[in-house]
Amino acid sequence: MKFRRLLLMCLLICAVANAKKFPLAAAASVPAARGDVDIDHDKNGNTRFKIKVQHLATPDALTPPKAAYIVWLRERDGTASPQGQLRVDKKLNGSFEGVTPAKNFDVFITAEPDAAPKTPTGEEILKATVQP
């Protein structure tokens, strides 16, 4: 039993040691918004990321109203690719999880008039640079 507890403690410490947190910088248009990106790696070496935001108005409450917040990834000198929608609840909190093979990339969030855009058209309202 003691061995299992010790093994569990070691696994937890290793998992926490591998995780990194990157703050999301807010644009001047959303000065109260806060957030961060937590990353770690899966057994295949992919980067798992989890975004958490606070104090972010729902997209339909923006002026002009928008359809959705979209999470984008952009590798160094690459083009941005949409990852999906970041949903915001009534308490103005939101979260999003994803996986990418990239190690160094920018993650950013835009407010878009379309819920499934191919390229970002809105302002980068929250942004972080992820690097090992």
Domains and CATH numbers, the chain: 20-130 (2.60.40)
Residue 122: what pLDDT?
86
**Residue 12 confidence (pLDDT) above 60:** no
Exposure letters 56-69 (e unless 16+ CB within 10 A, then b)? bbbbeeeeeebebb
More confident residue, 41 or 132: 41
The model carries a pTM of 0.84
Residues 6+ apart with CB under 8 A from 100: 46, 47, 49, 73, 83
CA angle 110, 111, 117 (to 5 degrees): 80
pLDDT in tens, 46-105: 999 999 999 999 999 988 999 999 999 999 888 999 999 999 999 999 999 999 999 999
Residue 7: what pLDDT?
43
Closest CA to 88 of 126, 113, 62, 55: 55
Q: Which residues pair with 21 in a beta bridge?
A: 38
Residues 6+ apart with CB under 8 A from 102: 47, 73, 75
Q: Which residues pair with 100 in a beta bridge?
A: 47
